[in-house]
Chain A
Amino acid sequence: MTTNELLFLVFAFGLIAWFVGRARAASFISSETPIINSLPNYHGWFASLWAIIPAILFLIIWINISPALVTNMVLSNPDAASVTADPFTRSTILSEARAVANGSSQVLFQEGSEKLVPLYKAAQSYYNSIAFAATLLLIFAGSAYAYTRLKPDFRARSKVEKVVMFALLLASLIAVLTTVGIVASLVFEAYRFVTLVSPFEFLFGTNWNPRDNIVAGEDNGYGAIPLFWGTIFIGAIIAMIVAIPFGLMSAIFLTQYSTPRFRSIMKPVLEILAGVPTVVYGYFAALTVAPAVRDFAVMIGFSNAASDNAMAAGVVMGIMIIPLVASMADDSIAAVPGAMRDGSLAMGATKSETIKRVLLPAALPGVVGGILLAVSRAIGETMIVVMAAGYAANLTANPFASITTVTVQIVALLTGDQDFGSPHTLAAFALGLVLFVVTLLLNLVALRIVKKYREAYE
């Protein structure tokens, strides 16, 4: 029996256990005991979960260990003694024989694998029958145990509740565990990078010119400062010069000046803007804004302006971020108690004086938190800078020059051939780790500020 069939079996028995448990509970209800502790459905679920969960846990473990068990059994057979000891050839032979035994392949290439096929078949059927027996045993043991527990005063409801809680906990852990896994892989590869290239050179060097292989005498720079600078220049400086004033002003207009009707239209529109795929902003930056910026730069005397320039990418990124800043600022301004505003207006302050002197100072922490979140979003943004900012690692403050960012270089390093032994590929992971740490810190600080501020008024 394959694992799928076993799974089907488990769930079929689970269903049966549900009906049996439910019927059993229903039989408790009589004229003497008109009310039992839990509704019959809960008894059904209790029985069903006991039938399913142990068997499923067994199957999960089994899937992981059975291939090794099968291989061991095959190799312990005297017929397999002749298989070569070279690990690489050996594993090829074994996997070939396994594929043929499973029926997923017809052809044999390696010498010696042919005689392993019947061994594999025998071992697999042996272990399959063990799995089948064990599964059945667990199903019956589980459901029998559950069945004996069912009584009129049995609290099936709270037992099922515990399982529900556990299932929800598991679901919530998936995101966390994935993050941990990502971090682990980043750290692992970044460590390998650091063994090849000095971390000091990487973090503080100013020459970025990665090559596939380090060759003596050639220019092989892994100094990431130009990348960090480009990221900050585009994401945290140019983009924020655009996003902060426009985002703040639109938030002020929406919360303080617009009619409720206008606000009810504008807010969803802003949110739609936030949902535009970044690649679309990328087109806009590369095809419309960048040439215009270059023409403008040439006009005002920057004859060396590049067609892919920091300005275009930064401005478009800023536009992309406006809804984020606006919505965070909107939230924090709206969270300032109306009594503050009334108090100021009742003193004879105008609307704009009230906003400038009372609402914005009170909302400032929330606004700053929003801006930090926006920065962390901007420096992690990839598509716009790939399309509009270019690949040249220039360390320059000229906004009309071509500049590159961390994300662009990660894309460049991982496009094409990858060799996990060379610093060329591994550098992408080191860059990713730096980016991850920086955005994580920004997010932490931002969330802390926002949270602290919210507590102040509740």
Chain B
Amino acid sequence: MTERVRVKSLCPPGHVRAPWYLRGKVGEIERVLGRFGNPEQLAYGLQADSRPLYRVRFTMAELWGEAAETPTDTVDAEVYGHWLERL
């Protein structure tokens, strides 16, 4: 049972680890990685909340549309739960 998610289209200031090219894009959860300290706090030496981390698989078609080199190739990336909305 695959779970589809969309990366939130946010642009908060400061250190984040959700790459621009994935924001707003829809992918499938490839695996659940567990909970990790939120890098948005760790980067500033703050006490970090633990956040769930997922590996999300995106197709090249989803990322690049008509310009995709090979539409069915994929990019897997790690995205924290607070950057994802379930579809």
Do these two chains really belong together in a complex? no
